[in-house]
Structure 1
Amino acid sequence: MGSLRVHDTSVSRARGVPRHPPSGRRTTVRRRQTRRARRRAVGVLLPALLLGGLAAPGNAASRDAADIPPQEPGVTLRSFDVGSPLEQLCTLKAGQTPNVDKLMPVIDWESTEDFGLEDYFVSQVIGNIDIPEDGDYAFRLISDDGSRLTVDDQLVIDHDGLHSAEPKDGSVQLTAGYHSLRVDYFDASAEQRLTLQWRPPGAEEFVTVPNDVLSTDADVVRVTAPGQKECEGGADSPGDGLPLDSVHPSYDLTDLRPEGFEPQVSAMDWLPDDRLAIATWGGTDNVAGEVYLLDNVTGATSPEDVTYTRVAEGLNEPMGIKWVDDSLYVSEKHQLTRLVDEDGDEVADTHETVAEWPYGGNFHEFAFGMLYEDGHFYLNLSVAIDLGGATTDPQPAPDRGTTISVDKDTGEVDYLAGGLRTPHGIGWGPEGEILVTDNQGGWLPSSKLLHIEQDAFFNHYMNPPGPFDDNPVTKPVLWLPQNEIGNSPSTPVTLTEGPFAGQVLIADVTYGGLQRASLEKVDGAYQGALFRHTQGLEAGVTRVSVGPDGALYTGGLGAGGNWGQEGKLDHGLQKLTPNGTSTFDIHDMRATPDGFTLSYTEPLSQETADALADSYRVDQWRYEPTADYGGPKIDEETLRVTSATLSEDGTEVTLTIDGLKPDRVVHVQSPRPFSSADGETLWSTEAWYTLNAVPQG
């Protein structure tokens, strides 16, 4: 959702970053601190890993307090509205944001007020339990309806199914120290109850597990979103109802991290000699705000071949980097900085302030991404938010939620467009225009892809108003339906070569992987379709770049709250190299006056062609932006496909569809079996088209 747990603003001030930088251009010099001093300063700043998954298989050993993120007493309760009664625990589709996320002192609940939902929901209880001494610990789950207790990787109690509030016991041998704890629960209807009790060694009776042995990650942003969530269905499979789970067959995946190198990548750019510059939040040596130069990453390579040199540190959560005129420029939260190498060793000796922008010290006030062209840098300023995800009212600094340009020579800041919330990604579009991704939140019922034009306003209102709040609302190029095909979109990048040249890839931190968009202009404005493209990476993706060798380079970063892909690392650096394999996939989707034409990369099989009229399912809905966080689908309806016509070469299907309306998201799904003439299964069966306007004629 684009809401990051980072650090308290008082810590930023302790690092020498002013809460309200002076206006105007001002050059400052910050000398490099000693590594020891930096480590002391950043020890509490590094983003915490999300505690939510199970421990690694076979790892039942306890952990010391130093081995886990900062904790606070209690557990995390997350509830998901599934909208219909269940008979047993279900597996939620990956990447969905809960309806409820809150800190609870103990696990002993029996009301709607406790769970946050009334009926038809699934809850996850996540935390750690601090075991005082080695021994055999008995646990008891009391639930109405089903529940399950897991400690580390061990299933301790399986109390699934429909039943009243009855107890079930289990026991596990535990060593002294911290162990991960998770309870899964569902409520079908009527009464609700979930209680976790224990009987430690030597105790005679079961009692509720006390608050003083329970803990969960401290100070995380607890992001929630309305709307119904989905469980995996029996017919679902990766790419067909579920997220992909592997690398696209047309790429070879290469790791680029030498042993011990764990960069939390927040930005990347290329030097003329094919070295890769990355900015990071930290990871290696516990030093935050770094810049590295990496060599031997292009072409045929391996982690052992890659070398890296740290050339800067002590930066204030950099999220953009560009190499311009033999210098590296970095967008910090509060300013644009040039890294100055005074002695020729490529290590920055001073940090020169090129420009400053409004900054109020809120943890969420980022300067996202960076482009450069003709003497100007382009980047996005996010708004301040509260820890619950709501937009801060009033904003601590003016003119946030904007795309800005910065004159390289004078430092002058100009505002291009506004009404943004968490505009994490910025990139060049198919015709050289600026594309930006924005993350779900207040006034954003779902995440979206935007085309930045001068004076555009994208519907996120603030107090005080932003510079473009009085302008008409500009429609998104694409809605990125939340939890279905996106969650926390980051970098957009346009492909210039290969079978999808001219299309846009969109990275995602929480949904993970890369999604692919085919865009077209209708009535002079962009709209188009979104497809799943690849997963199988080691971390959710903050940055993606096309390298000089034509490979896709992906950098990963995970933080607390929901900002990171579940089960993946909080750091990562890999590349996807095209291998020439032709994969059967939807190539593009274009709107017609009465439907759509879907183009495929290979001719369809005769079996698939014979069943076309019955194989497509089409749904449409719209979104209604409000001040609330996120929002549900509105006016959902299933549409009838009246005809499906296959082109003579077998690669295009034109659908005629009754009831299509403008300003809708149209979801088209072709259930399996759906194969090519060579017998290959379709890589991903689904497309989401943002139909801002229906073509005429």
Structure 2
Amino acid sequence: MIRNFWVLFCVLAISPLGHGQTPPASAELAVDHVKLIKSLDAAAMKRGEALYSSMCVVCHGTPERPGTLPSSRAFWKEPFKNGGDLHGIYRTLTHGLGLMPPWPMLTPVQRYEVAHYLREQMVKPTNPAAYTVVTEDYLAKLPKPQGVFVETAAMKEFKQGPKYLRMDFGPALMWTLEAAPGNIAYKGIAVRLDEGAGGVTKGRAWMLYDHDTMRVAAAWAGEAFVDWRGIAFDGSHGTHTKIVGATAFVNPDQPGWSHPAKGGYADERILGLDQKPYGPLPRPWMRYEGLSHHGQRVVLHFSIGTTKLLESPGCEVRDGKLVFTRTLEVGPGDTPLEMRIAPQAQRVTSDGGQLAVVGDFQVLRLPARKESQRITVRIESAVKAPAGLKPLTPPSELGALTRGAPPQWAVGLPATNGPKMIGDGIEADTLDFPAAATNPWRTQWRLGGLDFFADGRRMAVCTWMGDVWLVDGFDTGQVTWRRIAAGLNQPLGLKIVDDVIHVTCRDQLVVLRDLNGDGETDFYECFNSDHQVTEHFHEFAMGLQTDAAGDFYYAKSARHAKPPLVPQHGTLLRVKKDGSRTEIVANGFRAANGVCVNDDGSFYVTDQEGHWTPKNRINLVRQGGFYGNMWSYGAPKDSGDGAMQQPIVWLTNGFDRSPGELVRLTPKSWAPLQDKLIDISYGMGRMNLILQDESDSAQGASVAMPMGDFPTGVMRGRFHPATGDLYTCGMAVWASNKIQEGGLYRVRRVASPLHLPIAWRTAPGSITVTFSEPLEKVSAEDLSHFTLKVWGLQRSEKYGSAHLNERPLTITQAKIAADTRSITLTIPELAPAQGLELKCTLTSSDGQTFTRIIHATIHRLAQPSSPPLPR
């Protein structure tokens, strides 16, 4: 269930229970357990099956099909950790257990229905030892109800259904969509063609483009937009989204325009290892340049050869049937052009150019032109127009729609600060999202990136569901949120360069252009579309940073549990400053959640446990390196550990089950942590300090920052340009201990002790740890205040690794240095270890007792000889 807490995040409201808490004690006390258990019948089992299928099956699986997360319990053959009886399973769903958080949005009835289905359909037939019979004696021992049960806000919100069904995505949605079996628009742009509120998904007629080829992949109509399958919608793994309804026509996954110099449609895209074409057509042939919003009208910008074109789709109703339109403005050009319209069987008309049949398709031929030409092509269909459908007003001039538009989302929504978190030497504030009641677009607040404008007054944030919001008022404390862009394809990185917003999306790097100064995006400029996209759910494009030369960097995930198909699978990528090309920096990654750029040309990149990745990794990355995942493209033939670059540290699940982006604490306000690295942990909702070994910078340690956890997974960080405060954001979807949909936080150093390890050094037979403040000598030299254990890992094709040969090591001496901040531990048996945990409970010189847990990796034990640490 951990990896697929999906519907939970689709529907969980920003409410007290949205902060990862269990239901209120008063609500639980009022539950009549006996009554609910006695009411369980075949209908309840059916409802429990539906909940299990939508929320649990992806990770836990079924007896017929294992789940995708091997560490998730296989109920049909394994014992339960918290009791396999009905009330035991209910308690686990209510309060959580270990890495599994609670499910506060499920009513008690729903929790028992899931338990009922699980026990009767999976446990009883195949795992009878874990099955307990419900008897009157069992029921008599259950808690008795006290008071009247009242549903919480989270439970009421859950009953409204998934948030993605209610969200307004804007007039177009860029997404990977299947147009027909085996025919996928990998970089799809779905455009609504009829008037009405609610955005593209609430329409009833659409046209789907693919900007890899600038083909129209399909046109369709109906009461439903898509089937809502896919990782960002229903949370399913191994699926992708398909259009539904009545399809008017479909074009194959081939170029939409003939080659401007050679003629013909012979595809020149790269071939994946499955021999299918991926990525964009070569730039001399075609280049997608972006799209404009103007009210509900969408205009696409692209070039064929040297000819600039604009296109806007639409529809008409004729004799009760839909006619789909493509309105084009074709710029001057010395080269004739040819556009594939639809299969030959479609009836097509045009008010310009020449229609012809080439092969199995209707095409439009355009001779060379000295002046721009406006043409409307009409494609008739047998699709019945949905009742009440009102087509968009036909455009009189496309160019006029591309120079700035009236704002669609002009309202600034107020928000307040939420709970404060106070730690040792660190405080954090919650920046709440606008109240759901004030947000007409029903945004899902899964934040994927953030950055400040130069004035420090404004910040931009992106959401995984395709929005970009402007957060204004950091100078006054009266913060407002304004939506400025929508419909992007799973953006998971954002960088502001020269006060211009750049966004990492699954299909492209996008620059948001406000052409008329009203604060809203008019033109979604395609800065770079070299992305090689397949339909696989796991190939996220994450993070966005720049180096001193102005080049951009992001990480592209590999496929989950499958070999690679395209060269970008499992890589760190560099996009040149002008957007002209993309280069592979390094490979061997599985799910690298962002990137940190160092001054010396190296990088820090994290990675996630999985196949060929026995535990989570903190990597120091250099050009050309391979970092372990044999299912990334370009992996060496040798699968041995010696063929890969080792991580600085392996992080075990209990310490950090899913590291996010690394950030260097550059502001002076963060002393004594200035210039050190922190891991912003998606999996644990916290921040960890990374300590590179002062004897060997290729290895190191990690320790949690002295503060509590955030209620959501966090993964990105930016510093306020004036205050130096760190702002961090993130979300929780799967593989996180947290359940709140998303969050935005301000973290700052305050004038109190940290009580934190800030330096780490290994040597033959010893470890030296330096703390941020002086320590009390007696406590620091008391061996009972330390425990140390080590373990190994097995890297293989299997998912993750158990701790191998985990064992304690004896510390024979603890000696505090003259600075009273450094402790050297003598450990005669110390040897290289993939995993090491040092737990210490110490007292500072001012009398404060604290416990710190350090996780580390030791590749070598040698005298200091490594180069200076990268920064």
CA distance in 2, matches of 1:175, 1:517: 41
Query: Equivalent residue for 2:674?
Result: 501
Kindly indicate whether residue 130 of structure 2 is the aligned counterpart of residue 192 of structure 1.
Answer: yes
Kindly indicate whether residue 857 of structure 2 is the aligned counterpart of residue 690 of structure 1.
Answer: yes
5+ residue gaps, structure 2: 32-46, 65-72, 97-105, 137-158, 163-228, 239-419, 437-443, 865-871
CA distance in 1, matches of 2:592, 2:82: 30
| TM-aligned CA deviation for residue 556 of structure 1 | 2.5
Kindly indicate whether residue 595 of structure 2 is the aligned counterpart of residue 454 of structure 1.
Answer: no
Aligned with 1:372 (options 523, 538, 546): 546
| TM-aligned CA deviation for residue 349 of structure 1 | 1.1
CA deviation string 1:345-370 (max 9, x = no partner): 23111212222221102222111001
**Counterpart code for 1:343:** N
| TM-aligned CA deviation for residue 420 of structure 1 | 0.3
| TM-aligned CA deviation for residue 695 of structure 1 | 2.0
Rg (Cα) greater in structure: 2
Aligned with 1:586 (options 721, 732, 757): 757
CA distance in 2, matches of 1:540, 1:442: 22
**Counterpart code for 1:253:** A
Query: Equivalent residue for 2:774?
Result: 603
Change beyond 3 A, Cα 1:516–1:124 = farther
Query: Equivalent residue for 1:13?
Result: none
CA distance in 2, matches of 1:624, 1:646: 36
CA distance in 2, matches of 1:610, 1:656: 11
Query: Equivalent residue for 1:545?
Result: 718
**Counterpart code for 1:392:** K
Query: Equivalent residue for 2:451?
Result: 269
CA distance in 2, matches of 1:482, 1:608: 30
- 2:818 aligns to what SS in structure 1? coil
Q: Please say if residues 428 and 494 of structure 1, whose CA atoms lie closer than 8 Å, have aligned partners that are also in contact.
A: no
- TM-score normalised by the chain length of structure 1: 0.67
Aligned with 1:363 (options 516, 537, 540): 537
Change beyond 3 A, Cα 1:3–1:340 = farther
Query: Of Structure 1 and Structure 2, which has the larger fraction of its residues in helix?
Result: 2
Query: Of Structure 1 and Structure 2, which has the larger fraction of its residues in strand?
Result: 1
CA deviation string 1:241-275 (max 9, x = no partner): xxxx9642212322222541773210011211114
User: For residues 224-623 of structure 1, what are the structure 2 equivalents within 5 Å?
Assistant: 247-257=422-432, 259-260=434-435, 263-281=445-463, 288-297=465-474, 302=477, 305-355=478-528, 356-373=530-547, 374-385=549-560, 391-393=561-563, 395-429=564-598, 433-462=602-631, 465-466=633-634, 472-483=643-654, 485-496=655-666, 497=668, 498-520=671-693, 522=695, 525-533=697-705, 534-548=707-721, 549-559=723-733, 562-566=734-738, 568-609=739-780, 611=782, 613-623=783-793
Aligned with 2:88 (options 140, 144, 147): 147
**Counterpart code for 1:556:** G
5+ residue gaps, structure 1: 7-43, 63-69, 80-97, 106-112, 126-140, 156-173, 199-213, 224-244, 283-287, 386-390
Kindly indicate whether residue 794 of structure 2 is the aligned counterpart of residue 632 of structure 1.
Answer: no
Quick one: higher RCO (CA 8 Å, sep 6+), 1 or 2?
1
Q: Please say if residues 642 and 658 of structure 1, whose CA atoms lie closer than 8 Å, have aligned partners that are also in contact.
A: yes
| TM-aligned CA deviation for residue 315 of structure 1 | 0.4
- TM-score normalised by the chain length of structure 2: 0.54
Query: Equivalent residue for 1:122?
Result: 81
Query: Equivalent residue for 2:844?
Result: 676
- 2:643 aligns to what SS in structure 1? coil
Kindly indicate whether residue 23 of structure 2 is the aligned counterpart of residue 55 of structure 1.
Answer: yes
| TM-aligned CA deviation for residue 341 of structure 1 | 1.9
**Counterpart code for 2:423:** H
CA deviation string 1:46-94 (max 9, x = no partner): 84659997434445799xxxxxxx9962537999xxxxxxxxxxxxxxx
- 1:147 aligns to what SS in structure 2? helix
Change beyond 3 A, Cα 1:258–1:102 = closer
CA deviation string 1:604-655 (max 9, x = no partner): 22441452x3432211112221111111112322211122211123211111
Change beyond 3 A, Cα 1:576–1:645 = same
**Counterpart code for 2:472:** D
| TM-aligned CA deviation for residue 435 of structure 1 | 0.7
- 1:456 aligns to what SS in structure 2? coil
Query: Equivalent residue for 1:102?
Result: 61
Bigger shift: residues 342-351 or 445-454: 342-351
**Counterpart code for 1:295:** D
CA distance in 1, matches of 2:543, 2:674: 23
| TM-aligned CA deviation for residue 520 of structure 1 | 3.4
CA deviation string 1:328-381 (max 9, x = no partner): 111110211111222222311121222222110222211100111213100100
CA deviation string 1:510-569 (max 9, x = no partner): 21111111113545x43211001132423221222222211121213122xx34433x42
- 1:321 aligns to what SS in structure 2? strand
User: For residues 63-142 of structure 1, what are the structure 2 equivalents within 5 Å?
Assistant: 73=50, 75=52, 101-102=60-61, 115=75, 117-118=77-78, 121-122=80-81, 141=85
Q: Please say if residues 9 and 740 of structure 2, whose CA atoms lie closer than 8 Å, have aligned partners that are also in contact.
A: no
CA distance in 1, matches of 2:545, 2:95: 48
Change beyond 3 A, Cα 1:122–1:331 = same
| TM-aligned CA deviation for residue 474 of structure 1 | 0.3
CA distance in 2, matches of 1:586, 1:643: 19
Q: Please say if residues 265 and 556 of structure 1, whose CA atoms lie closer than 8 Å, have aligned partners that are also in contact.
A: yes
Aligned residue pairs total: 530
**Counterpart code for 2:88:** S
Identity percentage over the alignment? 24
Please report the RMSD computed on the Cα atoms of aligned residues, expressed in angstroms: 4.3
Bigger shift: residues 661-670 or 627-636: 661-670
Change beyond 3 A, Cα 1:380–1:565 = same
- 1:641 aligns to what SS in structure 2? coil
CA distance in 2, matches of 1:117, 1:432: 50
